[in-house]
Amino acid sequence: DAKTTQPPSMDCAEGRAANLPCNHSTISGNEYVYWYRQIHSQGPQYIIHGLKNNETNEMASLIITEDRKSSTLILPHATLRDTAVYYCIVRVGTSGTYKYIFGTGTRLKVLA
């Protein structure tokens, strides 16, 4: 079962920041948080991941709380093309047995 919970849907105005929350209260100390998104039925697209420090790349920022029980994905300037289902995933397992367990995700709709 997925170790994360996310709101089922969110709306965001185009050009504004989209803040997508995720709870992962049972995360273990060495488990990473990953974010992926899926546009229509395409393959999940990697966005960002982190362990305990905040992370930023060209797509997004990831803010992880100090206790690591929750995180927020930030899309700084959402565009219509960011409309997708966003998955917060805790990667489980150890080297050689990793797996990504998807939950139901947040359906983000960016509005013009």
Partner 1 sequence: EPEVTQTPSHQVTQMGQEVILRCVPISNHLYFYWYRQILGQKVEFLVSFYNNEISEKSEIFDDQFSVERPDGSNFTLKIRSTKLEDSAMYFCASSMVRGRLNTEAFFGQGTRLTVV
- Give residues in contact with partner 1 (CB under 8 A): 34, 36, 38, 41-46, 49, 87, 93, 95-105
Strand 106-111 with 9-13, pairing: parallel
Buried b (16+ CB within 10 A) or exposed e, 71-88: bbbbbeebeeebbbbbbb
CB of 112 to partner 1, least distance (A): 26
Whichever of 13 and 51 has its CB closer to partner 1, that residue is: 51
Measured from the CB atom, is 97 or 112 closer to partner 1?
A: 97
CA-CA-CA-CA torsion sign (66, 91, 98, 37): negative
CB of 89 to partner 1, least distance (A): 10
Question: Rounded to the nearest whole angstrom, what is the least distance from the CB of residue 96 to partner 1 in the complex?
Answer: 5
Tell the residue number behind the tokens 């929350």, with chain if given.
21
